[in-house]
Chains A and B, each alone.
Chain A
Amino acid sequence: MPTNSALIIRPNYCVVTRYGSAYMTQILDSANSKSLPTIDLHGTEATASNFFSNLETQDPILVSILGHGSYNLIACQDGETLLVGGSNDYVLDGRVVYDLSCQSGRDLGASAVANGAISFLGYTEDFWVCLSEGEHSDGGMLNPLQDEVARGFLESHNVAPISYINGSTIENSYYNSQDRFTYWLNVWESIDSGVASLLMWNRDHQILHLFREDPIISTTPTPPSEKAGIAPLALAFAPLLILPLMKKLK
């Protein structure tokens, strides 16, 4: 029986994993704020052997995965194979899985749930991210967290595991993520419909495979007013932050 803890694997070896792993600190921050024990496999630590050994020794209920993917496979650091549907996905038995990879929500996600995972949220086709051209050697910005173009893409995914950590049901964590994609889609429609089209693609190909709805993860109780935090306020003003940036990009 998995324990009340989380495992996050976030490789960092190309522009998109560098961005994804930077934004996954949002999930880590949320887990920390709820005092949820968390194993963070980052960069060179994001290997298959570390992943499997930590699943065995720590037995976390929540697993958040970042990596390149295809319909039936997810890779970790430097493209090492991590999970293959029907081969080793039984390690996800009894766990709630949030996966930010291309395509693996289709076959691997279905297989994982058929092999015992409580749920698997992923994407049935490619997950695209728009980035601002920057000074980093990989073409992106030096600090991905300052890239307001990428923010909506990665934050919209992260809302799903963060919602679950904050007490939402698995199903509602999916709807919260869908709503966040739609929010950013509406923001970008008035700025750049090209960016909006990719947000829509990701939203429309997000999938939740759900075997059974388990009790929500138990975290430190937080009064409702604290739960909201400054996130709603920050979201309300997000378009105002983006407009000056877009002027700079023109």
Chain B
Amino acid sequence: MVTKEEFALVKKRLEHWNEKIIIATFRDNIKLNKDEMLKHIEAQDDIGKELAEIQMNYLRKLKERK
């Protein structure tokens, strides 16, 4: 479950995403560039939720290490 505040944090993070790097998965031919990622975050749809979970998983683990 990603909170509203976490979505906002992830949005800020993805605003700094390198525009020349795209992401893709081995599911349903999903391929996203920076703008598309941000749209999913704003819509808070299934892909947006997963992108947010990925970033939050990273940030939480980073915090645990410190």
Residues of B contacting A130 in the complex (Cβ-Cβ under 8 angstroms):
21-23
Q: How far is the CA of A17 from the CA of B31 in the complex (A)?
A: 12
- Interface size grouping (class) on chain B: 20 to 34
Do A132 and B21 touch (CB < 8 A)?
Answer: yes
Q: Does B18 contact A (CB under 8 A)?
A: yes
B50 to chain A, nearest CB (A): 7
A56 to chain B, nearest CB (A): 26
Residues of B contacting A128 in the complex (Cβ-Cβ under 8 angstroms):
23-25, 54
Partner of A100, one of B19, B26, B54, B55: B26
Do A200 and B26 touch (CB < 8 A)?
Answer: no
A100-B26, A102-B26 are known contacts. Are A194 and B21 too (CB-CB below 8 A)?
Answer: yes
A101-B26, A201-B58 are known contacts. Are A16 and B17 too (CB-CB below 8 A)?
Answer: no
Do B54 and A15 touch (CB < 8 A)?
Answer: no
Q: In the complex, which residue of chain B has the Cβ closest to the Cβ of A194?
A: B17
Q: Does B61 contact A (CB under 8 A)?
A: yes
Do A129 and B24 touch (CB < 8 A)?
Answer: yes
Q: How far is the CA of A67 from the CA of B29 in the complex (A)?
A: 10
Binary CB contact string for chain A from 35 to 61 against chain B (1 if under 8 A, 0 otherwise): 000000000000000000000000000
Q: In the complex, which residue of chain A has the Cβ closest to the Cβ of B34?
A: A194
A194-B21, A201-B58 are known contacts. Are A68 and B14 too (CB-CB below 8 A)?
Answer: no
Residues of B contacting A138 in the complex (Cβ-Cβ under 8 angstroms):
31
Q: Does B4 contact A (CB under 8 A)?
A: no
Do B18 and A194 touch (CB < 8 A)?
Answer: yes
Binary CB contact string for chain A from 101 to 117 against chain B (1 if under 8 A, 0 otherwise): 11100000000000000
Residues of A contacting B58 in the complex (Cβ-Cβ under 8 angstroms):
193, 196-197, 200-201
Q: Does B63 contact A (CB under 8 A)?
A: no
Q: In the complex, which residue of chain A has the Cβ closest to the Cβ of B26?
A: A102
Q: In the complex, which residue of chain B has the Cβ closest to the Cβ of A79?
A: B29
Do B27 and A126 touch (CB < 8 A)?
Answer: yes
Partner of A70, one of B17, B27, B61: B27
Do A69 and B26 touch (CB < 8 A)?
Answer: yes
Q: How far is the CA of A15 from the CA of B21 in the complex (A)?
A: 13
Do B27 and A102 touch (CB < 8 A)?
Answer: yes
Residues of A contacting B19 in the complex (Cβ-Cβ under 8 angstroms):
133
Do A15 and B18 touch (CB < 8 A)?
Answer: no
Do A201 and B22 touch (CB < 8 A)?
Answer: no
Q: Does B3 contact A (CB under 8 A)?
A: no
5 further A-B contacts with Cβ under 8 Å, apart from A16-B31, A131-B21, are A102-B25, A125-B50, A126-B25, A130-B22, A132-B21
A interface residues (Cβ-Cβ under 8 A, vs B): 14-17, 19-20, 66-70, 100-103, 125-133, 138-140, 149, 192-198, 200-201, 204, 249-250
B interface residues (Cβ-Cβ under 8 A, vs A): 13-14, 16-31, 33, 50, 54-55, 57-58, 61
Sort A-B residue pairs by CB-CB distance and give the 5 closest, nearest first.
A197-B58, A102-B27, A16-B24, A102-B26, A249-B20
